[in-house]
Structure 1
Amino acid sequence: MKPMATYDLMESARITNEWFGSTAKAMFSHPAFGLSLNPMVRLTAAWGEVTERSFSRMAMKPDWQIDTVVGEDGRDHLVEMETVIAAPFGDLLHFSVQGREDVERKVLLVAPMSGHYATLLRSTVASLLPDCDLYVTDWHNARDIPVSKGKFDVEDYTLYLVDFIRHMGPDTHVVAVCQPAPLALAATAYLAKHEPEAQPSTLTLIGGPIDPGAAPTEVTDFGASVTMGQLEQHVIQRVGYKFAGAGRLVYPGLQQLTSFIAMNADTHAKAFFNQVVNVARGTASDHDRHNKFYDEYLAVMDMTAEFYLSTVERVFKEREIAKNVFTVNGEHCDIDAIHDVAVMTVEGANDDISAPGQCVAALEMLKGLPDDMKAEHLEPGAGHYGIFAGRSWRNNIRPLVLDFTKKNARSNRRSKAA
């Protein structure tokens, strides 16, 4: 029986560090030190400011901060977020652009549930809005979901995607980023078998572990080296008393964040140090590059224990998607059943999370899909983040994705066939 005290201890450590930062900032920013020539006074105040901001962001869900979009008429149009489907573990959001003509391209952007909120894709959303009628999956923080709402594992996740795609209709273009790529493929296969008329027009898979064994990384090596018992023993915690999900078993976001930072510890330490110096010099700003990145990067959410463990076991260890043996409620999600959904894969040449080869493996698995309905792109010099939110996405990948969806829209295919 896992106690709640360990989860509360992590939250206490976060709050304590936030308090240390705010205290240092308050003390060493006091007017009494105004005439001091000792640089350590200003540096300590700056350290406190950066530390307080960093640890406070870990407990906040960021805002989308997308208020307007420029239409083809050159005018700014207000953007409103509407919850189309509300479910216990995740919602389907619609970014409704007010006052512009209807856009034919309807896109479902499937956000990853791997420790960060869907707002991690804010720049991706902003770049797609001018050309798309855009919907996004908004997964909930497991610590805020009461135990009475039940479980949520990879099969439930897949069925959520099935419901979202079904609701949006067969002219939908699905774009899955990172973690959901294999489950988006499984959801499409599920529809191909059970409701072929509800399948999306296209499926774009960006940097996802379709076949983790195709190209080893630190992530896949970790999954292979630990047993499920070790994971359950050492990384699963029970939500503490402070939250609505008290008692729920979760993989804490703070623990995931620690793993992320440890993978590039020197880079993050250098960024933190440089920001302290910039604050002390007065050259930092509230929305500078550092804060824009880390306000999002440090905002983490918990995953249900069953989702995390089933992902490691079934997607990474057993490679059920790659072997085409994945089942949902006992029903085989047969990838060979996909005949009428154009599929594109995107990979980054320098991706150290989903290395080149893992995502493109999907195309070899789609034996029932004609070659002219398959496409692949390997972006030179791009890392994991860059292929969906960086310069590579903006300049190269986004235009390719938009062209692919336009070319393979089901309505266009029907008109060509006629």
Structure 2
Amino acid sequence: MRYMATYDLMETIRNTNQWLGATALAMGAYPAFSLVPNPAFAWMQAWGEVTERTFQRMVVKPDWNIPPVTSSDGQDHVVATEVVVERNFGDLLHFVVPGRDVPERKVLLVAPMSGHYATLLRSTVISLLPDADLYITDWHNARDIPVSAGKFDIEDYTLYLVDFLRELGPDTHVIAVCQPAPLTLAATAYLAEEDPEAQPRSLTLIGGPIDPNAAPTDVTDFGHRMTMGQLEEIMIQRVGFKYPGVGRLVYPGLLQLSSFISMNAETHTKAFTDQIGRVARGEAADHDKHNKFYDEYLAVMDMPAEFYLSTVERIFKDGEIARNEFTVAGKKVDIGKITTVAVKTVEGTKDDISAPGQCIAALDLCTGLPDSKKASHVEEGAGHYGIFAGKSWRRNIRPLVLDFIDANSGKKPGKPRKAANKNAA
């Protein structure tokens, strides 16, 4: 499947469905049909509206849309984004809140490169902003990156994190969500040997596959069942002529989305059927629960082929992080060299992506870290999404993470720094 034709075929199918939806919407809304009391036209219009929105969202990067933050001065402050470090495959993004005193907690949120944009963590960002000076890794869509930019695998990802941490300095607290947890742990260990002064103060790993074999799931079973040759043949395609990354080998976002949906096909089918009914009855809204969820869920990005394949081979199949045998640029990274960075793991009992046991394995790898700097939390009844963005995160996990950060900051909790711009609105 490693051809532009297959990539362009998928894009053609997506584009055709978007066009069919737009056509049905326009026909159903034709004024003359209002003279005919037939509900079929209302259903046609509703089907078209839902279908057009669904397929159009698949190629659009969502906006952050962060609401204003209420500060200690009682005023609402707008939130802006600022690129601190700009790279080909991803940027270090800063959420700037002009006019407020900057919180002492400097937090780097490491977003996954796993098919969705960093905006998947929007609710996590919103929950942390009032209490933290927040940064995030904003990974780029591989289809928009020219082939001349070169490769990007898990070693490159790790070195990006190293550079971001060096930029932020030693007072940083890192929260890694899901897929990047093992690579963030490796980046911290790399700094422990190469540049100890740039290490963060704390590292919180949420639902990450440190040791995928500690608690097998459908994800780990799939990784072991498929050979690397099969994965490369089935999953990898070349970006078509429509995008700047033409010719780049990628794991296409549309192909990933089909896999996501097939895992819960009945649930998604019912969700869209119900939404069509709500639109036909005039009960839907632009930002209702369905649209808020699927506008983000359907917005997928292409993943560099070498990153996807090296993740499966080295993290899941060979377990290089779990065995403490990971190498970066020919240098072995020893996780046991972490001696000063406090490490906390967070898991959910109902996590079917990174089951309990996979993430807490990080604590056993930190052989050079005293028990006083290790912590773990297992959230009862929480699924994968819930432990970083759902009700469990908001009510229980977030306060625990902030307490962990404060306990390892060496400063008074929440003490504000000087305002970034006192004259700003």
Question: What's the TM-score once normalised by structure 1's chain length?
Answer: 0.97
1:251 maps to 251
Alignment match, 1:3: 3
Show the counterpart of 2:422.
Answer: none
Q: Does 1:119 align with 2:128?
A: no
User: What CA deviation, in whole Å up to 9, does each residue of 1:370-399 have, x standing for no partner?
Assistant: 111111111111111111111111111111
What displacement does 1:365 show? Answer: 1.4
Q: Counterpart of 1:340 in structure 2: which amino acid? A: T
The residue aligned with 2:418 is none
In 1: Cα distance, 2:235 partner to 2:410 partner = 44
Counterpart-to-counterpart distance in 2, 1:301 and 1:235: 14
Q: Which residue pairs with 2:80 in the alignment? A: 80
Q: How far 1:2 sits from its partner (Å)? A: 3.2
CA distance, structure 1, for counterparts of residue 211 and residue 355 of structure 2: 10
- Tell me the residue number matched to 2:197: 197
| Alignment check: 8 A CA contact 1:171 1:410 kept | no
Shift of 1:37: 3.5
Asked whether the equivalents of residues 178 and 207 of structure 1 are also in contact (C-alpha less than 8 Å), the reply is: yes
State the SS of the aligned residue for 2:101. coil
Deviation at 1:289, TM superposition (A): 0.6
Shift of residue 287 of structure 1?
A: 0.4
Q: For residues 148 and 92 of structure 2, what CA distance do their matches in structure 1 show?
A: 22
**Map of 1:416 onto structure 2:** none
Residue identity matched to 1:194: E
Q: Distance in 1 between matches of 2:2 and 2:201?
A: 45
TM-fit CA distance, 1:407: 0.5
In 2, are the aligned partners of 1:239 and 1:247 still within 8 Å (CA)? Answer: yes
Structure 2 counterpart of 1:297:
297
Give the partner amino acid of 1:3: Y
Please report how far the alpha carbon of residue 254 of structure 1 lies from its aligned counterpart in structure 2 after TM superposition.
0.6
In the aligned structure 2, how far is the partner of 1:169 from the partner of 1:284?
47
Q: Quote the Cα distance in structure 1 between the aligned partners of 2:39 and 2:353.
A: 40
CA-atom RMSD, angstroms? 1.2
Deviations 1:327-380, CA, capped at 9 Å, x for gaps: 000111100000101011111111111111111111111111111111111111
Please give the residue correspondences for 1:267-306 in structure 2 after superposition, counting only pairs within 5 Å: 267-306=267-306
Give the whole-Å Cα distance in 1 for the aligned partners of 2:2 and 2:393: 43
Q: Return the offset for 1:73.
A: 1.7
Structure 2 letter corresponding to 1:66: I
Which residue pairs with 2:399 in the alignment?
399
For 1:312 and 1:324, how far apart are their aligned partners in 2? Answer: 16
1:338 corresponding residue in structure 2: 338
For residues 125 and 316 of structure 1, what CA distance do their matches in structure 2 show? 28
Q: Which residue is equivalent to 2:183?
A: 183
* CA deviation profile, 1:68-125 (whole Å, cap 9, x unmatched): 2111222101211110000000000000111111211000000010000000001110
Q: Which amino acid aligns with 1:128?
A: L
Q: 1:21 aligns to what?
A: 21
Find the counterpart in structure 1 of residue 417 from structure 2. Answer: none
Moved more, 346-355 or 35-44: 35-44
TM-score by length of 2: 0.95
Q: Deviations over 1:259-310 (max 9, x none)?
A: 1111111111111111111111111000001100100000000010000000
Alignment of 1:147-158 (within 5 A): 147-158=147-158
Paired residues for 1:161-240 under 5 Å: 161-240=161-240
CA distance in 2, matches of 1:267, 1:318: 34
Secondary structure of the structure 2 residue equivalent to 1:20? helix
For 1:406 and 1:73, the matched residues in 2 are separated by 22
Moved more, 33-42 or 172-181: 33-42
Gaps of 5+ in 2: 414-425
Give the equivalent residue in structure 2 for 1:362. Answer: 362
| Aligned counterparts of 1:384 and 1:36: Cα–Cα separation in 2 | 49
CA distance in 1, matches of 2:185, 2:247: 33
1:375 is aligned to 2:383: no
Deviates more, 1:320-329 or 1:263-272: 263-272
SS in 2 for 1:389: coil
- Contact 1:205 1:359 (C-alpha < 8 Å) held by counterparts: yes
Check if 1:89 corresponds to 2:100: no
Q: CA separation of 1:187/1:410 partners in 2, compared to 1, >3 Å: closer, same or farther?
A: farther
Aligned to 1:386: 386
Matched-pair contact (CA < 8 Å) for 1:67–1:80 = no
Which amino acid in the other structure matches residue 30 of structure 2?
Answer: H
Aligned-pair distance for 1:231?
Answer: 0.6
CA distance in 2, matches of 1:265, 1:351: 19
* 2:258 is equivalent to residue 264 of structure 1: no
Q: Higher relative contact order at CA 8 Å, sep ≥6: structure 1 or structure 2?
A: 2
Q: Give the gaps of 5 or more residues in structure 1.
A: 414-418
Amino acid at match of 1:386: G
Q: Which 4+ residue blocks in structure 1 deviate beyond 2 angstroms?
A: 35-41, 410-413
Residue 55 of structure 1 and its aligned partner are, at CA, apart by 0.3
Give, in angstroms, the shift of residue 32 of structure 1. 2.1
The one-letter amino acid paired with 2:361 is A
The 3-state SS of whatever aligns with 1:204 is strand
Alpha-carbon displacement from aligned partner over 1:22-73 (angstroms, at most 9, x marks no partner): 1111111212222443333212211111010000000100000015211122
Q: Distance in 1 between matches of 2:17 and 2:102?
A: 49
d(CA) in 2 for partners of 1:270 and 1:288? 16
* Count of matched residue positions in the alignment of Structure 1 and Structure 2: 413
Confirm or deny: 8 A CA contact 1:89 1:142 kept in the other structure.
yes
State the alpha-carbon separation in 2 of the partners of residues 287 and 57 from structure 1: 14
Q: Tell me if the contact between 1:171 and 1:411 (Cα under 8 Å) persists in the aligned partners.
A: no
- Measure, in 2, the Cα distance between the counterparts of 1:43 and 1:382: 37
